[in-house]
């Protein structure tokens, strides 16, 4: 039974990496997995928000109840196996496993996500991926309204894909199998990954949601956008990053409509010049204006 009281008209500016001032009518923040399960069982309609990266939050309104997972952050290490709740920060997991001389999560160090989102998207970088070390997950089955276990073969992992994206399963926790390695070598990999990201991608000091478009097969979305001459392009309070063209940054006053319009501008220019239709990597959460809805539908086609 769910006894958690929602916070009303909650400002999510500190709960999304774009730092958009989105207002959610109702927000729940379960403090443990059982409370999370109770909410999932009781609420008829909801949206789950982890680190708030990889998303555009509507600055019009968010009417659907929102569940924040940031309090679900337990980590258990047993020999070379690590079990984490969905709200564990990816960067923290990289740090804590390195301290225990466990290799496999070095790539997570610069990624601003929670592990729920990392598994959902099968996060990858620097030759490593979530699916490489995944063993099993404890998930909530939405249709059956019960908790079940999914093994690696059930997860349908692919580039930026997992079975979780089909909407019937919600990650509660996951277990991973890492490798014992020299702590200094692990830390050196982490430092290199962080350094590379800082040199090639904007930091969260300039609010952004990470990569905006998926890389087309055999190509790079950032390279195509850059070759179209769009680095630095501004619409409203949003700008295509001058450091990496597959990033849009919030200059301080961006609204969700600015970001969508800038995405659509890049989409059209790349399509005209290279006959390539970029696919959105970010997810839109909340109500859309008519103009936003038109753009979003075109970006999904």
Q: Are 163 and 154 in contact (CB under 8 A)?
A: yes
Measured CA to CA, the distance from residue 71 to residue 249 in angstroms comes to 27
Closest CA to 64 of 39, 43, 47, 48: 47
Measured CA to CA, the distance from residue 189 to residue 240 in angstroms comes to 29
Measured CA to CA, the distance from residue 70 to residue 129 in angstroms comes to 22
Please tell me the predicted confidence (pLDDT) of residue 2.
65
pLDDT digits (tens, 9 = 90+) for 211-228: 999 999 899 999 999 999
Closest CA to 75 of 193, 184, 210, 178: 178
Examine the pLDDT at 234 and tell me if it is beyond 70.
Answer: yes
Which fold is adopted by the domain 7-68?
3.30.43
Instruction: Give the number of residues written for the chain.
Output: 301
pLDDT digits (tens, 9 = 90+) for 179-215: 999 999 999 999 999 999 888 889 878 999 999 999 9
Please tell me the predicted confidence (pLDDT) of residue 274.
97
What architecture does CATH give domain 75-199? 2-Layer Sandwich (3.30)
Torsion of CA 238, 54, 287, 234, to 10 degrees: 10
Which two three-digit tokens encode residue 95? 């740090």
Measured CA to CA, the distance from residue 20 to residue 235 in angstroms comes to 15
Contacts of residues 193-201 at CB distance under 8 Å and 24 or more positions apart, as own/partner, are 193/106, 193/107, 193/109, 193/110, 193/125, 193/126, 194/109, 194/110, 196/126, 197/110, 198/110, 200/243, 200/244, 201/241, 201/243, 201/244, 201/247
Measured CA to CA, the distance from residue 165 to residue 40 in angstroms comes to 16
Q: Are 70 and 88 in contact (CB under 8 A)?
A: no
Percentage of the residues of the chain whose pLDDT score is greater than 90: 89
For all residues of the chain together, what is the average pLDDT? 95
pLDDT digits (tens, 9 = 90+) for 250-301: 999 999 999 999 999 999 999 999 999 999 989 999 999 999 999 999 888 7
Measured CA to CA, the distance from residue 247 to residue 240 in angstroms comes to 6
Q: Are 145 and 41 in contact (CB under 8 A)?
A: yes
Domain boundaries, the chain: 7-68, 75-199, 221-300
Query: Other C-beta atoms within 10 Å of 48: how many?
Result: 19
- Residue 24's Cβ-side half-sphere holds a number of Cα atoms within 13 Å equal to 26
Instruction: Write the DSSP symbol of residue 18.
Output: T
Q: Is CATH 1.10.150.20 correct for 221-300?
A: no
Measured CA to CA, the distance from residue 130 to residue 40 in angstroms comes to 25
Average pLDDT on 52-58 reads 95
Q: Mind telling me the catalytic residues?
A: 160, 211, 281
**Total-model pTM:** 0.91
């Amino acid at each position: 039974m769910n006894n958690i009281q929602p916070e009303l008209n909650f400002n999510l500016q500190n709960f999304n990496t774009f730092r958009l001032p989105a207002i959610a009518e109702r927000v729940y923040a379960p403090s443990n997995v059982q409370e999370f399960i109770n909410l999932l069982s009781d609420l008829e309609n909801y949206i789950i928000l982890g680190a708030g990266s990889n998303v555009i939050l509507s600055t019009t309104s968010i009417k659907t109840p929102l569940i924040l997972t940031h309090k679900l952050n337990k980590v258990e290490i047993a020999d070379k196996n690590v079990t984490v709740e969905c709200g564990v920060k990816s960067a923290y997991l990289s740090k804590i496993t390195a301290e225990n001389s466990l290799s496999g999560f070095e790539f997570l160090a610069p990624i601003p996500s929670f592990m729920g989102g990392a598994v959902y998207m099968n996060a990858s970088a620097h030759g490593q991926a979530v699916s490489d070390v995944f063993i099993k997950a404890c998930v909530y089955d939405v249709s059956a309204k019960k908790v079940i276990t999914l093994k690696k073969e059930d997860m349908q992992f692919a580039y930026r894909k997992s079975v979780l994206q089909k909407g019937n399963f919600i990650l509660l926790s996951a277990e991973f199998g890492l490798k014992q390695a020299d702590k200094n070598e692990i830390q050196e990999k982490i430092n290199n990954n962080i350094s590379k990201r800082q040199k090639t991608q904007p930091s969260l000091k300039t609010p952004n949601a990470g990569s905006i478009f998926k890389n087309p097969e055999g190509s790079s979305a950032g390279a195509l956008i850059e070759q179209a001459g769009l680095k630095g392009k501004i619409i409203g309070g949003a700008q295509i990053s001058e450091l990496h063209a597959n990033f849009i940054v919030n200059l301080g006053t961006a609204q969700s409509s600015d970001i969508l319009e800038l995405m659509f501008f890049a989409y059209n220019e790349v399509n005209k010049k290279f006959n390539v239709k970029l696919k959105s990597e970010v997810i839109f959460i909340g109500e859309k204006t008519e103009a936003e809805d038109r753009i979003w539908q075109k970006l999904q086609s």
